[in-house]
């Protein structure tokens, strides 16, 4: 079997590119729909609170309303971050860099890309980053 590939041995074969692009595009469409639904939910929370004089600090339901609003806002932010990750993955495909680790330049294993198609690092570099930047 020939491992000659622009990204090194074990890199995703060019025949995988259309399927990968389609998978990323589908994930992007789902994420856009989720972000739009979350935006509508957030707007609904804000609108419902505008109809009532809600003082989050003194209203018994105010704390849960504030939590709900913050929770939806956090989910929206994560959806937008994921969209950016997907867009960068699509750009890497266009530039022939998809599947190449940004940390060490090696090949990201196809199994990792199957689980995390927008991954930018191999497992070793991802672990190394976690040790340097614990959550």
CB neighbour class for 99 (10 Å; exposed up to 12, middle 13-18, buried from 19): buried
Tokens at 42, concatenated: 């957030």
**Predicted pLDDT at 105:** 94
pTM reported for the whole predicted model: 0.75
pLDDT in tens, the chain (135 residues): 333 333 444 444 444 889 999 999 999 999 999 999 999 999 998 888 777 655 555 555 556 888 899 999 999 999 999 999 999 999 999 999 999 999 999 999 999 999 999 999 999 999 987 777 665
**Predicted pLDDT at 48:** 84
- CA angle in degrees (0–180, nearest 5) for 42-46-47: 115
CB distance 35 to 76 below 8 Å: yes
Nearest to residue 50, comparing CAs of 68, 70, 65, 35? Answer: 65
């Amino acid at each position: 079997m020939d491992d000659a590939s622009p990204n090194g041995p074990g890199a995703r074969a060019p025949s995988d590119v259309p399927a990968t692009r389609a998978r990323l595009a589908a994930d992007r469409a789902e994420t856009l729909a989720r972000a739009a639904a979350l935006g509508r939910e957030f707007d609904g929370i804000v609108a419902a609170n505008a109809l009532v004089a809600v003082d989050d600090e003194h209203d018994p339901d105010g704390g849960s309303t504030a939590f709900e609003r913050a929770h939806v806002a956090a989910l929206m932010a994560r959806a937008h971050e994921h969209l950016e990750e997907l867009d960068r993955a699509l750009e890497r495909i266009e530039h022939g860099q998809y599947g190449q680790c940004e940390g060490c330049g090696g090949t990201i294993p196809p199994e990792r890309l199957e689980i995390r198609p927008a991954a930018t690092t191999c497992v070793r570099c991802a672990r190394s980053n976690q040790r340097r930047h614990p959550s």
